[in-house]
Amino acid sequence: MSRPPDDGIRPQEVAVTAPPPGDAALRFIGRIRTPWTARADCPRQGRADGPECRIELFAPWDRALAGLGAHARIEVLYWLDWARRDLVLQHPRGDGRLFGAFALRSPVRPNPIGTAEVALLAVEGAVLRVRGLDCLDGTPLLDLKPARAGFTPEAPPKPGVAG
């Protein structure tokens, strides 16, 4: 089967002495459904006792859910598509103190990717039911992973490599 043309894995493209130039491209693989339809309503952080939310996968990426249901906690990556990306110093408190974007978990950052660790309640076909999100209804989904804590790689250890 063919792979996407931007994959950058062609043999002749390999030798770089600097990071790949320019941007990389994302695909939205699903949509997150939450109770919050305005930014002012979103909590600043997800809570373990927050409302149940839904994550809807788009085909064909729903096939990649196989086995995810074995994990009680998962990491969710999403795209904060309304956030501006040019503010390096921000003023969250209104008290005159500035913070760099990287010192905040604000949506406003050079690459507005949100991450959350949530409780996975159920996998129902192409839909996940989860608890612990804080994003707007309709937020584009980028990735799902088993949560880091407690995760053991399925692949065998590499000979001679610690970890």
Contacts of a copy of itself in 55-114 (CB under 8 A): 60-61, 63-68, 70-71, 74-75, 77, 79, 81-82, 84-86, 88-89, 92-94, 97-106, 109-111, 113
Question: Within positions 110 to 149, which residues make up the interface with a copy of itself, using CB under 8 A?
Answer: 110-111, 113, 115-117, 134, 138, 140, 142-146, 148
Taking CB under 8 A as the rule, does residue 38 contact a copy of itself?
Answer: no
Distances from the Cα of 125 to the Cαs of 13, 28, 104, 120, in angstroms? 39, 18, 35, 14
Residue 9 in contact with a copy of itself, rule: CB under 8 A: yes
Sign of the dihedral defined by the CA atoms of residues 114, 120, 122, 125, in that order: positive
Among 27, 35, 37, 124, binds a copy of itself (CB under 8 A): 27
Our finding on whether 35 is near a copy of itself (CB under 8 A) is no
Among 96, 125, 150, 161, contact with a copy of itself (rule: CB under 8 A): 161
Residue placing its CB nearer to a copy of itself in the complex, 85 or 122: 85
Q: Considering CB under 8 A, how many residues would be counted as binding a copy of itself?
A: 97
Q: How far is the CB of 38 from a copy of itself (least distance, A)?
A: 11
Q: What is the DSSP letter of 58?
A: P
Distance in angstroms (rounded) separating the CA atoms of residues 123 and 143: 15
| Cα–Cα distance measured from residue 143 to residue 158, given in angstroms and rounded to the nearest whole number | 25
Contacts of 33 (CB under 8 A, 6+ apart): 53, 54, 55, 56, 137, 138
Report which secondary-structure segment, H or E, holds 99: strand 99-100
Smallest distance, Å, CB 87 to a copy of itself? 8
